[in-house]
Amino acid sequence: MATKSLHKRESNLANSNKQLEILSNGIFQSGELPTFKNKIAETNQFPLKAKKLEVLQINVGYMCNQVCEHCHVDAGPDRKEIMTRETMLQCLEVIKNTGAHTLDLTGGAPEMNPDFRWFVEEAAKAGIKDFIVRSNLTIIRANKKYHDLPEFFKKFNIHVVSSMPHWTRGKTDKQRGDGVFDKSIKALQELNEVGYGMPNSNLRLDLVYNPSGAFLPGDQTSMQKDFKKALKDDFDIEFHNLFAITNLPISRFLDYLIASENYEDYMYALVEAYNPVAVSNVMCTNTISVSWDGYLYDCDFNQMLELPVNSKIKHISNYNEELLEGRDIVISQHCYGCTAGAGSSCQGVVA
């Protein structure tokens, strides 16, 4: 288990250009595997175009209390990129006027941004239909000042989406760090206590599963069944839906794939599982991702690869939904991660 981000370790792979180089060279350069561009062109899906905006995803900072092995953000306690109140104010202007039905706050651990609560309170006033906070669960137990988060989420009717790689301690702690499993279980129980995740409750609690290694997620419906049974039987925990998300070969997960000599096999697996139906519903076609410093991206992954939107509008301060619609999505080989099997997005499968 890593304790420092790639940035802190000054790893080669902390450099997004280096990652993009790896994703374009080797098996993709030699033609052994088709590039994502050529693959989607086979079914006349190139260029991939943005449709009507539905999801506004805001990354409020890369700081996190955990250093997960697979993290595509390279988040950790040593990351200092944090959204300022000034940028938040610019975001709020957009939130008030957006046509998007979903507002999705992510990080890092979004709760660690010092202005997080203020931002949630202000953003909630806009009355967006689905207001998601992606919480890593352990933050609720990390420090006394976070203990009341379940009540806070409830007050603003936040839809909580949390990571939970497995229903067993071993697999969870291996991916996310020692002690993460027990803290996550405790946090889930506390969320249940205030009403989150209970059957027929309007307080939505969904879990995110992503594989703890160089393999693809299994069928989302069967995984959900297994998770529900195990968490209910072992810990009396309830939740609503499970989103199975594929790990994309960037940042720390790419570093792991290369170090464990799984990179080529993993890319083969992604390309073999390519599903053209998933392409038409990939999240970048209905999402805008805003970075901690207010720049706009097609998705959180492109944000980490520093691939900005292909549009005249680059920053939240001159945001214009109409101008962003219909833009060409910026792609590379990491995109195969969202089109494998039943597809993958921040909301789980797409096909």
Partner 1 sequence: MQKTYYDPADLKKFGKISDWNKELGDKFFEYYGKVFEEGALSAREKSLIALAVAHAIQCPYCIDAYSGDGLQRGITKEEMMEALHVAAAIRGGASLVHGVQMMNKVNKLEM
Q: Which stretch binds partner 1 (CB under 8 A): 16-24, 165-173, 194-202, 291-299?
A: 165-173
- What lies within 8 Å, CB to CB, of 38 at 6+ separation is none
Q: Are 192 and 238 contacting, i.e. CB atoms less than 8 angstroms apart?
A: yes
Phi, psi of 125 (to 5 degrees): -65, -25
Radius of gyration of the chain (CA): 19
Name the E strands within 14-101. Answer: 55-59
Q: Are 117 and 70 contacting, i.e. CB atoms less than 8 angstroms apart?
A: no
Q: Which stretch binds partner 1 (CB under 8 A): 110-118, 136-144, 166-174, 306-314?
A: 166-174
Q: With contacts defined by CB under 8 A, how many residues of the chain interact with partner 1?
A: 19
CB-nearer residue toward partner 1: 62 or 266: 266
181-184: long-range pairs with CB below 8 Å, 24+: 183/137, 183/138, 183/140, 183/141, 183/142, 184/137, 184/138
CB-nearer residue toward partner 1: 181 or 319: 181
Q: Are 130 and 101 contacting, i.e. CB atoms less than 8 angstroms apart?
A: yes
Query: How near is the Cβ of 244 to partner 1 at its closest, in Å?
Result: 10
Phi, psi of 238 (to 5 degrees): -115, 145
226, 306, 321, 328: which one contacts partner 1 (CB under 8 A)?
A: 226
CB-nearer residue toward partner 1: 180 or 309: 180
Q: Are 1 and 69 contacting, i.e. CB atoms less than 8 angstroms apart?
A: yes
Q: Which stretch binds partner 1 (CB under 8 A): 51-59, 113-121, 221-229, 310-318?
A: 221-229
The yes or no reply on residue 211 touching partner 1 (CB under 8 A) is yes
The yes or no reply on residue 123 touching partner 1 (CB under 8 A) is no
The yes or no reply on residue 219 touching partner 1 (CB under 8 A) is yes
The yes or no reply on residue 222 touching partner 1 (CB under 8 A) is yes
Task: Give the number of other Cβ atoms within 10 Å of residue 229's Cβ.
Answer: 11
The structure tokens listed for 341 are 């099997």
Query: How near is the Cβ of 338 to partner 1 at its closest, in Å?
Result: 17
Q: Which stretch binds partner 1 (CB under 8 A): 76-84, 187-195, 211-219, 274-282?
A: 211-219
The yes or no reply on residue 170 touching partner 1 (CB under 8 A) is yes
The yes or no reply on residue 32 touching partner 1 (CB under 8 A) is no
The yes or no reply on residue 215 touching partner 1 (CB under 8 A) is yes
Cα–Cα distance for residue pair 42/339, rounded to 1 Å: 14
Per-residue x/- track, 254-283, partner 1 (CB under 8 A): --------------x---x-----------
Cα–Cα distance for residue pair 300/289, rounded to 1 Å: 6
3-state secondary structure of 105: strand
Q: Which stretch binds partner 1 (CB under 8 A): 11-19, 163-171, 252-260, 328-336?
A: 163-171
Which residues of this chain interact with partner 1, rule CB under 8 A? 166-168, 170-171, 209, 211, 213, 215-219, 222-223, 226-227, 268, 272
